[in-house]
Amino acid sequence: MDNQQKFAPLTIGLHWIIALTMITLTGIGFYMSWYEVYPLYDWHKSFGVVIFLFVLLRVWWRIKNGWPTPVRDYPALEHRLAHATHWVLIVATVLMPISGMMYSGLGGYGVKVFGWVLIPGNHNAEGQTEPFHAGLSQLGAFTHEWLGYVLVGAIILHIVGALKHHLLDKDRTLLRMLGR
């Protein structure tokens, strides 16, 4: 279990696996959509589905374990900002894969995990993609894109906060997440 001095190995492992994967997938997501790099889509979807399983485990762990106790007392505004940022990160990491699967699956593009079909594509006689539900697919696409921007902002805020704790406050917040 987590405490004020130390995080459990599961907390640290899930944090870094999800953080590094979500940062990578978000960067690649912007790149492949801006430059139409279609070969990356199957890879992006595969890792998106896999990381969703880790995200669900992390949500379960957070519910079971509760919110981490700060390493020391902070001003109320700083504490609320940190708590809000953590909530945004958790909600965004849950909704990002869901909205991506909604966009791709309901858009008729299908969802595969390293070649294993989870949601089959839907194509007409000419081989063109036909949505299963265009409206929900568009909602998924809109949500997925904008969550990318929200996630980038929240990640930057989170990193700035961690560096502030380490460099200015000189407390153990960052070291605790590094397992030290």
Asked if 3 contacts 69 with a C-beta cutoff of 8 angstroms, the reply is yes
Query: What mean pLDDT is reported for the chain?
Result: 94
With cut-offs at 50, 70 and 90, classify the pLDDT of residue 6. Answer: confident
- E strands, the chain, are 111-113, 116-119
Q: Give the start-to-end residue ranges of the domains of the chain.
A: 9-177
What distance in Å separates the CA atoms of residue 40 and residue 3, rounded to the nearest whole number? 40
CB–CB of 120/110 below 8 Å?
yes
- For 70-95, what is each residue's pLDDT tens digit? 888 889 999 999 999 999 999 999 99
How sure is the predictor about 175, in pLDDT bands with cuts at 50, 70 and 90? confident
Radius of gyration of the chain (CA): 19
